[in-house]
């Protein structure tokens, strides 16, 4: 299972598209040639049965594509919402940090600004594993430093309501970051994508088989159907790669937050 997940995740989209097109077109051609060999012994009743099976197989493909697309799209929307919530949590913590006394105020503000910068670096890293790992490690170090500074301020003034609210905001930041990491790793299972590929191959084989019984390849229609199906699958794969590819998580909430952090504290 893990091997399938990693294979579908790391496979280049262009290579994946070419492989899928080759598989479905070969399946259609295999079905066409098989039908030509068997067409002499098939009567009209059998032809109608083949047409019914072909229609049912296409319907199954449509159902699986719709289910898988919805699954990947909902995961992508969930990641976008987590980014917005994390930006809000950081902004809230930054405002509450301004209510502290020096030197904790200045250090917390600097740490939060650096936290957003590192988050943006992680987002820009894309498929660069080394940069991503370094940024993730620094985020963990910044979280530890933020909590240490806030906890020290709380020990110095344990009755301050502001510090209690600040600690709550920091805890929200850490939770949102953990949620985002989990959401990025939460992809459509490889076994589902494999099942989808097999089902599509069988369906296109049945389409080719029907064309063979009719005595015409109808290559244009088969190619159009194949391109549409492969395009949907590639979109599903792209949804599962939120830091690279065409469909990515927008860092806009963090960029707006970072610009607001440039305003001097009063």
Q: What was the pLDDT predicted at 181? A: 86
What pLDDT sits at residue 238? Answer: 86
pLDDT digits (tens, 9 = 90+) for 213-265: 877 778 888 899 999 999 999 898 888 877 777 777 888 999 999 988 876 55
Quick check: helix, strand or coil at residue 82?
helix
- Contact indicator for 131, 121 with CB cutoff of 8 Å: yes
* pLDDT at 7 exceeding the cut of 70: no
| 98 found inside a domain | yes
Run of H or E residues at 206? helix 190-214
What are phi and psi for residue 41, nearest 5 degrees? -100, 15
Q: What is the pLDDT of residues 192-217, one digit of tens each?
A: 888 888 999 999 999 998 888 877 77
Range of the domain at 216: 10-260
87-117 residue pLDDT tens? 999 999 999 888 888 888 899 999 999 999 9
Question: Which residues in 163-186 are b (16+ Cβ under 10 Å) and which e?
Answer: beebbebbebbbebbebbeebbee
* pLDDT given for residue 229 in this prediction: 92
Does any domain span residue 3?
no
Per the domain annotation, does 65 fall within a domain? yes
Going by C-beta distance under 8 Å and a sequence separation of 6 or more, which residues neighbour residue 57?
199, 202, 203, 206
Q: Write the CATH number for 248.
A: 1.20.58
In a domain, 171, yes or no: yes
Residue 25 lies in a domain: yes
The pLDDT value given to residue 266: 52
Identify whether 266 is part of a domain. Answer: no
Q: Check residue 113 and give its pLDDT.
A: 93
4 domain-assigned: no
Identify whether the C-beta of residue 108 lies closer than 8 Å to the C-beta of residue 97.
Answer: yes
Query: Is 265 contained in some domain?
Result: no
Reply yes or no: is the peptide bond before residue 120 cis, omega within 30 of 0: no
Mean pLDDT of the chain: 84
Instruction: Report the domain count for the chain.
Output: 1
Q: What is the pTM of this model?
A: 0.80
Question: What is d(CA 182, CA 179) in angstroms, rounded to the nearest whole number?
Answer: 5
């Amino acid at each position: 299972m893990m091997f399938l997940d990693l294979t579908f995740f790391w496979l280049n989209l262009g290579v994946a598209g070419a492989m899928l097109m080759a598989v479905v077109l070969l399946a259609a051609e295999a079905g066409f040639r098989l039908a030509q060999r068997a067409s002499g012994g098939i009567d009209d009743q059998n032809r109608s049965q083949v047409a019914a099976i072909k229609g049912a197989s296409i319907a199954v493909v449509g159902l699986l594509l719709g289910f898988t697309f919805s699954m990947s799209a909902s995961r992508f929307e969930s990641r976008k919402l987590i980014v917005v919530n994390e930006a809000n949590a950081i902004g809230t913590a930054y405002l509450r940090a301004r209510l502290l006394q020096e030197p904790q105020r200045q250090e917390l503000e600097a740490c939060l600004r650096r936290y957003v910068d590192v988050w943006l670096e992680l987002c820009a890293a894309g498929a660069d594993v080394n940069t991503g790992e370094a940024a993730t490690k620094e985020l963990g170090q910044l979280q530890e430093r933020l909590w240490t500074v806030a906890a020290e301020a709380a020990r110095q003034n344990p009755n301050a309501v502001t510090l209690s609210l600040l600690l709550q905001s920091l805890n929200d930041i850490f939770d949102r970051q953990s949620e985002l990491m989990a959401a990025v790793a939460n992809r459509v299972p490889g076994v589902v994508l494999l099942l989808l590929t097999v089902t599509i191959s069988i369906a296109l084989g049945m389409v080719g088989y029907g064309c063979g019984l009719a005595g015409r390849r109808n290559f244009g229609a088969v190619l159009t159907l194949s391109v549409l199906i492969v395009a949907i699958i590639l979109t599903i794969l792209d949804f599962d790669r939120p830091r690279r590819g065409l469909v990515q998580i927008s860092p806009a909430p963090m960029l707006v937050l970072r610009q607001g952090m440039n305003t001097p504290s009063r």
